[in-house]
Structure 1
Amino acid sequence: MTRRDTDIDQETGIETTGHEWDGIRELNNPLPRWWLWCFYLTIIWGVGYTIAYPAWPLISRATGGLLGYSTRAEVVEQIDAFETQNASLTTALTEVDLAVLDENPELQRFAISGGASVFRSHCSQCHGSGAAGGIGYPNLLDDDWLWGGTRDQIAYTVRHGIRNEVDPDAHWSQMPAYGEIFETGEIDDVVQHVLALSGQDHDAAMAERGSVLFADQCSACHNEDGRGNRDFGAPNLTDAIWLYGGDLRSLTYTVTNSRFGVMPPWSTRLTEAEVKAVAAYVHQLGGGE
């Protein structure tokens, strides 16, 4: 790039800026006045906006603005308006016996709709957006329930949680880690027996030996037939539904080390109406009893 004295372009008759790039000279075409005034007005408007509304971030907050406008306050106002509108239904849901919820179709629709929002906000992180669960997180779409699948039982579980140390009314069960009780061969035998109970391929001789150990150590919770006991939160071992996996490797790990899943109590974070709503929502997904 070279610098030349300002001159007039011969072809256009327009003054140049005096700059030249590879033989190309820059014309000094001024911006239209209307465009400049629009630009100046936007600057003035921007300065005024930052003074009137929240704008500049500070260490712990933003400037409040002279008008005191708040989008949060606007949302709170809208929420309050809807809560006032639905107050009668919310009160009815708080007081209703969930066992007869389906006798009031309007209240049931309100509960399921609200429960879906509660589930997406608080439950989907563990149970999945579709409630199908995952390893260690129960599938809420099937009919296999450790602690019962009626609306009332689901609400109790939501309200108090499982194996947490916060709520004294939480469901509680604890399987021993049989790696500290059985010999390695005995663990293998019990696992083969469990495989037999669930109709999977197994070693018959090992399963026969394992049945004796199972009756002595495991049947108190899982029952002699392996169908489990909801009073203890002991799962049914005869079906194809497994919380932590039902293959040889997973079962061996479970028997050796035990499992100890924890669910927090939600009664401190959800209202009673929200607890009942999410119980109604989960119940109608297909696995409720």
Structure 2
Amino acid sequence: MTDHKQRVDEATGTHLVGHEWDGIEELDTPLPRWWVYIFAATVVFAAGYVVAYPSFPDVGGSTGWSSRGELDEALQAQTAARAPVVSAIAVTPIDQLAGNPQLMRSAIEGGRAAFKVNCVQCHGSGAAGSKGYPNLNDDDWLWGGDIASIQYTLQHGIRSPGSEEARFSQMPAFADILSKGQISQLVSHVQALAGQGKPNATGAALFAENCASCHGDAGKGMREQGAPNLTDGIWLYGGDRASLTQTIAKARYGVMPHWNDRLDEATIKMLSAYVHSLGGGEANPAPQPDAITAGAESDEAPKS
């Protein structure tokens, strides 16, 4: 057998390694020396770089520099730069922010950033919501759309476990109260209230007996109860017949978490300002002495 080390390619004068594929043989061409030297230099450089700038968390190199440390310094610098504005927002009553346009703009931009971190998971990046999650761009509010009401909702949540001051309402499941036929009549009446069908006398009677106490005789809703307006064509869970049947028969029980134990006061104010600025925010209502007295006497009245 011929030793492949003894065989030389006639065209190049290079030894053959003995591998052959369809008549094509592999040459034993050595790497250029300059390439070998550069490769060795990069290995040495890499070893030194790891010693000087290790990539392991919480491990400082010989230079004392780390990317995590650099990030911490940058964050601290940003926090220090924002501190005066954040402090000013924190000490300014929520209903007085609008009186300082520059501070209000800062609050809105801060709220925009906080919204992307804490709220988009449910309300979406554009705050348009989805089924079961309110659209914050429209002017339909279950509990009030002035900036103080929004702040209260953010602080204490809606039916949020662990928050004694959370806004709370509970619609009964009428499948346990009414027959399927009655629920069907009631659905027809609710659709008629929104202009989606003809008036239904039987459904109207059922509505007056079972629903008007929360939604009002005309179906306009009651914010004190968190009961939605049924006449505006805006539906949280859908206004088609199947969705309304599900809502009336089984009821809904949406929950929004309370944020007062997760976010600081200034951040909640900034979020309130941002949500209020989206397009559906309402003007702050003028305080009414009778309403204030009633609120003080009622444990269920919102405290904002």
Cα pair 1:221 1:228 within 8 Å, conserved:
yes
What is the RMSD computed on CA atoms of the aligned residues? Answer: 2.0
Task: Report the CA distance between 1:3 and its aligned residue.
Answer: 6.9
User: What letter corresponds to residue 86 of structure 2 in structure 1?
Assistant: T
TM-score (norm 1): 0.90
User: What letter corresponds to residue 219 of structure 1 in structure 2?
Assistant: A
Say which of 38, 56, 64 aligns to 2:59: 64
Counterpart Cα distance in 2 of 1:79 and 1:135: 37
Q: Is 1:225 aligned to 2:221, yes or no?
A: no
- How many equivalent pairs are there? 280
Aligned to 1:134: 130
Cα pair 1:53 1:64 within 8 Å, conserved:
no
Say which of 69, 81, 85 aligns to 1:85: 81
Counterpart Cα distance in 1 of 2:216 and 2:183: 18
Counterpart Cα distance in 1 of 2:14 and 2:209: 103
* Superimposed CA distance per residue, residues 142-200 of structure 1 (whole angstroms, 9 cap, x where no aligned partner): 00000111111111111111001111111100001111111222212211111111111
Aligned to 2:155: 159
TM-score (norm 2): 0.86
- Unaligned runs of at least 5 residues, structure 2: 283-304
User: What letter corresponds to residue 249 of structure 1 in structure 2?
Assistant: A
Aligned to 1:111: 107
Counterpart Cα distance in 1 of 2:20 and 2:161: 78
| Matched ranges for 1:143-182 at <5 A | 143-182=139-178
Cα pair 1:141 1:287 within 8 Å, conserved:
yes
Q: Is 1:41 aligned to 2:41, yes or no?
A: yes
Cα pair 2:4 2:16 within 8 Å, conserved:
no
Relative to structure 1, the CA distance from residue 63 to residue 281 in structure 2 (aligned partners, 3 Å threshold; closer, same or farther) is closer
Q: Is 1:254 aligned to 2:250, yes or no?
A: no
Aligned to 1:59: none
Task: Report the CA distance between 1:8 and its aligned residue.
Answer: 2.5
Cα pair 1:54 1:63 within 8 Å, conserved:
no
Counterpart Cα distance in 1 of 2:131 and 2:125: 15
Task: Report the CA distance between 1:27 and its aligned residue.
Answer: 2.7
Counterpart Cα distance in 2 of 1:116 and 1:283: 11
Sequence identity (%): 50
Counterpart Cα distance in 2 of 1:168 and 1:6: 91
Partner SS state of residue 20, structure 2: strand
Q: Is 1:28 aligned to 2:28, yes or no?
A: yes
Cα pair 1:18 1:26 within 8 Å, conserved:
yes
